Amino acid sequence: MELNDFTVSFDEINESNFEDIALRLFRFQYKNNLLYQTYVQHLGKDPGLINSTAKVPFLPIRFFKTHTVVCGTWTPEVVFTSSSTSGSGVSRHSVLSLDLYLKNAVSIFQHFYGPVENYHFLALLPSYLERSGSSLIAMIDYFIKMDSSGHSGYFLNNYDELLLKINSLKNSDRKIVLWGVSFALLDLAEKHEIDLSWCIVIETGGMKGRRKEWVREELHGFLCKKFNVKQIHSEYGMTELLSQAYSRGNGYFGSPAWMKIQIRDINDPFQALGKGKIGGVNVIDLANSHSCSFIETEDLGRVDENSTFEILGRADNSDIRGCNLMIG
């Protein structure tokens, strides 16, 4: 197999051609990803009879902990790894092109927020910086490097330095994006009542075992009050996906044209549910063209009539890991 046998031009994907591209990618991955092929065969599914994404088998995300999920044989440029808060193992996602991942991340961010050059990026992500292999850190690193002013950066647990930096940028012609893992934002809010009304606060991740999980509405309400902002934004991403979704408030996420969410019945994982129903979250991420684009996650969620979606918690007995782990 040649790795250029299947290429996805993200700029050309839209609502009208998504289904056709996704099905062509399914056939490519069935042929070239031996793990996925074996899984589909084990289910007794005939790929020739799969004529809609509603019928495509989704690979359980736990396989990224036990197998190398790739199409063909090649040397990855980078391997993204997850945290293992519960101690049950680490997910590994082999990535053919780091540059493709980073450009994809920029494109998605700009779809929701406009040019990256319009922002300073301040990051409060201690749990991610304390380990290697984080896809989130790779993305934030890239955003920080794109800020030619040199004001963007990480602050680990140094809240005083962070506040000094925020105050120094108050008259800047750029807006601040403060990225934070939930427990770090909560720590900051409990220790400091500050005016971030001119900033965008994006939470990305749960408590990572550091604190008890909060109901999302309560956490966001507390942070809004302490930071004097109208909304807390969120990012939904994970090691096993190369695309991200964003919420600009109220917990409803939008995704790029090449990423779609399907909801499955908890008791019958091969039964798709309609809009408004709560169930397990399946993700189609066409950016995963050289691994697997059809992922059965361990999140619970719901898709609304506008095709935005909510993440409402975790399925029973699943790991505490990944981004946006608030309980709905």
Contact assessment for residue 156 and residue 126, using Cβ atoms and an 8 Å cutoff: yes
| C-alpha closest to that of 133 among 210, 76, 180 | 76
Pairing relation of β-strands 175-180 and 153-154? Answer: unpaired
CA 256 – CA 200 distance, rounded (Å): 20
| C-alpha closest to that of 229 among 262, 205, 254, 203 | 203
Partners of 259 in the β-ladder:
285
Q: E strand or H helix at 185, and its extent?
A: helix 182-191
Q: Going residue by residue through the chain (328 aa), what tens digit of pLDDT does each one get?
A: 344 566 667 888 999 999 999 999 999 999 999 999 999 999 999 999 999 999 999 999 999 999 999 999 999 999 999 986 555 689 999 999 999 999 999 999 999 999 999 999 999 988 677 778 999 999 999 999 999 999 999 998 889 999 999 999 999 999 999 999 988 999 999 998 899 999 999 998 765 555 677 788 999 999 999 999 999 999 999 999 999 999 999 899 999 999 999 999 999 999 999 999 999 999 999 999 999 999 999 999 999 998 999 999 887 544 433 344 333 3
Question: Residue 168 CB: number of other CB atoms within 10 A?
Answer: 10
Tokens of residue 284, six digits = 């189609």
Per DSSP, the residues of 33-61 read -HHHHHHHHHTT--GGG--SGGGSPPEET
CA 151 – CA 78 distance, rounded (Å): 27
**Which segments within the chain are labelled E, that is strand?**
59-60, 78-81, 92-95, 119-124, 153-154, 175-180, 199-203, 233-236, 245-247, 253-254, 259-264, 272-273, 279-285, 294-303, 309-314
Inter-CA distances, 311 with 33, 245, 253, 300, Å? 29, 11, 8, 6
